[in-house]
Amino acid sequence: MKLEEILALPTIEERITYLKKGRKTEMPDKERLYKDWDANQHEIKTDKDKYPDIKITTQMEQTVFDENTGRNYTIPERTKNVEPNRIVIPLEQDIVNIHTAFTVGTEPSMECNPEEREKGLFSALKLVLAKNKIKYQNKRIVRSWLSEQECAEYWYAAKDEGFWRRILAKIGIKMNVQPQYKLKSVLWSPFRGDKLYPFFDENGDMVAFSREYKRKTIKDVEITCFMVITAQKVYNWELSTETTEWTERSFEHKFNKLPVLYCYRSEALCDKIHTIRVRLEKLISSYADCIDYHFFPILKLFGNLDPDSTQMSGDVRNRIVQLTGQGANAEYLTWNQASETVKLELESLTEKAYSMTNTPRVMPENLKGLGTSFSGVSFRYMFMGAHLAVENHAEEIGEFMQRRVNFLVSAIASINTEFSKPAETIDIEVKIQPYMIDSQKDKIDTAVAAIDGGVWTRREGIIFAGNADMIEENLKEIEEDMAKEQKTTKIGFSTNKE
């Protein structure tokens, strides 16, 4: 069923039903995913049937003779339940956070060679991204995508008369009539209470996007909200628990493109290591219980204790216990089971969890093999697995970032007509840059060698060395310094000649 036909249905209930059916992918299991993400909801801590309390005997059963009655009676055994060690390991959070840092810890680059009339639009785009704190939004998006399987970014226009005044002042453009709206964004995802329903046409293009969520009024009345965004309008349908009828409110967003960006993955990043994490928590918790009950030594005495020949006073190094009788002996009860097997399994499973997800473990002991002098090359070898994972993430995240830039170029032109013509011709390519600890000396040496060898231009060398933000100013200053040096050299030659 086409989108136009769905929106033309007589009742809102019918429209919502068909819009939900338009989702082609499986809905993420929010409850299961959040239990994996939140360490306090791991089964080692919540499942008392699978991990019951420990039953401890506080008093053994005894038979006692009662002199008053002349009979024996039994004192029953006394027990109590003790909470065992329930050690949780936030393994999923650690792995996802490391992948997030490697994917967008370094902001994605925007490669563009703008013409003179396009420079203002390109500068405005960068300022819009900066004002919306996109470098932090990128981390929230990647983290949600890896742990929740899907997320969406919604852009809207909010009234702010001073926003474009500040933007245009920075990029040096004067206008008689200034735009009154600024661009803002919000993130939607399952953990934030959203159910997402992308709607694709027969060509596989997303032509609408729906979001279902719940909110409460001041009077604590719960309202079910269903929001539908198309290429032209935004529909808000609401159903209160106090009524049985939907209310509708709609408006035109006035963008030329659908103002929603969506990314999805078929499974969470850490689904494949779920059983490993469960085993690790069980193993380390059980091991902690064993330590609690076997840490302090128990002295075993075989034979009869002779009180006359026992010296229990004086220095602890001179204490003597004398036992009599056949087979008399004294020894400590030791735990003969080797703990090395537990340690080996813990290390093996932990290493397996990180290796299966191509996640580096940046620990001092893991850096020993790099030698005493770290370099950018050695770090690249160490983080090669993480960079390969980032390349895989870039298939979806890179496309997401590219769609965002394409939309914002169009949205800026919609709000500010000054940029309408440049928006039709400007070409911006977004590239994911994996995070790397670089050696500045290595980069400078490489840039100098490439420039001197004629492989790179001076501009390319400056960009590689990490000074791309002020490249024109840097080039101008370098040329001025070189001109001064040449002039000084010529004066020195002429003076020596005379």
DSSP characters over 312-324: -SS-GGG-B--EE
Residue 264 banded pLDDT, cuts 50, 70, 90: very high
Specify the amino acid at residue 155. W
Give the residue among 465, 403, 429 at the shortest CA–CA distance from 122: 429
Going along 17-140, which residue ranges are E strands?
Answer: 54-59, 62-66, 71-75, 78-82, 109-111
Kind plus residue range of the DSSP H or E element containing 206: strand 206-216
| Mean pLDDT in residue range 168-173 | 75
Residue 305 banded pLDDT, cuts 50, 70, 90: low
Residue 170 has pLDDT above 80, yes or no: no
Residue 363 banded pLDDT, cuts 50, 70, 90: low
| Mean pLDDT in residue range 418-426 | 90
Q: How far apart are CA 366 and CA 348, in angstroms?
A: 15
Residue 495 has pLDDT above 80, yes or no: no
Residue 173 banded pLDDT, cuts 50, 70, 90: confident
Enumerate the domain spans of the chain.
3-39+88-270+389-431, 298-332, 439-497
Q: Ranked by mean pLDDT, which of 75-84, 98-107, 488-497 comes out on top?
A: 98-107
Lowest-confidence segment of 287-296, 393-402, 472-481 by average pLDDT = 472-481
Output 372 or 295, whichever has higher pLDDT.
Answer: 295
Residue 498 has pLDDT above 50, yes or no: no
pLDDT, residue 163, reads: 80
Residue 197 has pLDDT above 90, yes or no: yes
pLDDT, residue 44, reads: 94
Lowest-confidence segment of 34-38, 140-144, 440-444 by average pLDDT = 440-444
pLDDT, residue 342, reads: 86
Residue 80 has pLDDT above 70, yes or no: yes
Q: Which residues contact 405 (CB under 8 A, 6 or more apart)?
A: 110, 125, 428, 430
Q: How far apart are CA 19 and CA 2, in angstroms?
A: 10
Structure tokens at 19: 């819009």
pLDDT, residue 470, reads: 62
pLDDT, residue 247, reads: 92
Q: What percent of the chain has pLDDT over 70?
A: 84
The three-class DSSP label of residue 68 is: coil
pLDDT, residue 443, reads: 66
Residue 312 has pLDDT above 60, yes or no: no
Cβ atoms within 10 Å, residue 494: 9
Residue 420 has pLDDT above 80, yes or no: yes
pLDDT, residue 87, reads: 94
- Tell me the C-alpha to C-alpha distance, in Å, between residue 263 and each of 31, 152, 359, 399, 432: 20, 6, 22, 9, 15
Give the residue among 121, 257, 132 at the shortest CA–CA distance from 184: 132
Kind plus residue range of the DSSP H or E element containing 226: strand 222-230
Output 413 or 69, whichever has higher pLDDT.
Answer: 413
Q: How far apart are CA 353 and CA 60, in angstroms?
A: 45
Lowest-confidence segment of 33-37, 297-301, 429-433 by average pLDDT = 297-301
Lowest-confidence segment of 324-333, 391-400, 486-495 by average pLDDT = 486-495
Give the residue among 32, 23, 399 at the shortest CA–CA distance from 212: 23
Give this prediction's pTM: 0.80
Tens-place pLDDT, residues 199-258? 998 888 999 999 999 998 888 889 999 999 999 999 999 998 787 889 999 999 989 999
Lowest-confidence segment of 7-21, 50-64, 278-292, 324-338 by average pLDDT = 324-338
pLDDT, residue 226, reads: 96
Q: Are 263 and 150 in contact (CB under 8 A)?
A: yes
pLDDT, residue 134, reads: 95
